[in-house]
Amino acid sequence: MSVLLSCLRRAGLLGLAFLLVACGAPQQTADSESGEPGLKVVTTFLPITLFTRAVAGDCAEVNALIPPSSSPHDFQAKPGDLASLREAQVLVKNGLEMESFLDKLVASAENPDLVVIDSSQGVTTIASQEEHDHNEADHAEEHGHGHGEVNPHIWLDPLRAVQQVETIRDGLVKADPSCAEGYRRNAEAYTEELKGLNTEIASQLKPFEGKTFVAFHDFAPYFAERYGLKAEYLVDVPEMNPSPADLQRVSEIVEQTQLRALLSEPQEGDRSFNALAKDLGVRISVFDPMETSSEQAALDPGTYFNVMRGNATNLRQAFSQ
């Protein structure tokens, strides 16, 4: 309404030709009201999309390659994904072989000017624990899923997330110096919030230091390390089915540690986990590793904080009576 009014007012000064041009325009350019963002950025999956959106603000157009409902662990690229990589100037990834499909896709996109930001650069990593009681056949299957030597779930530690955001900031500043100040300001605000979140979770989980929790897949070592906890898991990647040995191992952990709950994730594939919890007489709670989300949640950088607060609350409940 007010757009129309101001438009009519301006048109009154400048005449009918302006009215036709200017008043027809707002609807088409509604998403880029603050001016056309200069930089086209493609991200891979949820946390990377949230961090990049937070830093980009109005300076860049950010689009995710993997739909929020798909797990990055088993993502299959489509021909349409090539088009978005061809048009983009920047690609932001988590790194650490989380996006195992990516190298091939980037090569096929034939976009020699594409700047790739690896947000894991400089982050201290934890090796993948693949030495559980799996037999050789299981191992072959795991490697088929593209799990690397290093555990890639660094974003679940808020302070490693700070490093990721800073790396994304530096990459965007370099790719688009015209908006350098905006990228720096946005990153500063987001990293301050991440540090605040870390302090908050640390004090909430302090009473449970040294305790063990069991997650569905192997996503929690960075979170656990940050807060002095020990993370165990049922399977390496979410698409795997647990072997009898996996179930046995988790049963023993639950007995030894007197855990009150297993931490499921809001994703398909954990039916066996629910059955196991029932057998063991413990509750199922949720720890969301943020590998998937709704479309809506993927648009809001604040989703990271909402999900992590929920995770900390659920974990506290799992440790309590």
Q: 100 or 204, CB closer to Zn ion? A: 100
At closest approach, how far in Å is the CB of 153 from Zn ion?
6
DSSP assignment of 77-99, as one string? --HHHHHHHHH-SEEEE--TTSS
Beta-carbon count within 10 A of 92 CB: 29
Residues 123-182 that bind Zn ion (CB under 5 A): none
Which residue, 183 or 219, has its beta carbon nearer to Zn ion?
219
Instruction: Region of 146 please: left (phi>0), alpha (psi -120 to 50) or beta.
Output: left
> Is the Cβ of residue 92 or residue 290 nearer to Zn ion in the bound state?
290
Using the structure block, give the residue that is written with the tokens 């603050």: 34
User: Least distance (Å) from Zn ion to the CB of residue 120?
Assistant: 14
Nearest CA to 219 among 155, 167, 131, 276?
155
Q: Least distance in Å: CB of 218 to Zn ion?
A: 7
Select from 24-32, 138-146, 211-219, 301-309 the region that touches Zn ion (CB under 5 A).
Answer: 211-219
In the complex, minimum distance from the CB of residue 258 to Zn ion, in angstroms, rounded to a whole number: 27
Among residues 97 and 300, whose Cβ is nearest to Zn ion?
97
Residues 96/152, Cβ–Cβ less than 8 Å: yes
Per CB under 5 A, which of residues 29..68 are in contact with Zn ion? Answer: none
- Closer to Zn ion by CB, 191 or 267: give it: 267
Per-residue CA distances from 246 to 132, 286, 318 (Å): 8, 19, 21
DSSP designation for 100:
T
Q: Give the residue at shortest CB distance from Zn ion.
A: 219
Cα–Cα dist 177/199, whole Å: 33
CB of 72 to Zn ion, least distance (A): 7
Site string for Zn ion, 213-252 (x = CB under 5 A): ------x---------------------------------
Q: ∠ CA 54-56-60 to the nearest 5 degrees?
A: 145
Q: How many of the chain's residues bind Zn ion (CB under 5 A)?
A: 1
Residue placing its CB nearer to Zn ion in the complex, 99 or 193: 99
Shortest Å, Cβ 254 to Zn ion: 22
What distance in Å separates the CA atoms of residue 104 and residue 238, rounded to the nearest whole number?
Answer: 23
* Beta carbon nearer to Zn ion, 45 or 190: 45
CA 77/CA 44 separation, integer angstroms? 11
* Contact positions vs Zn ion (CB under 5 A): 219
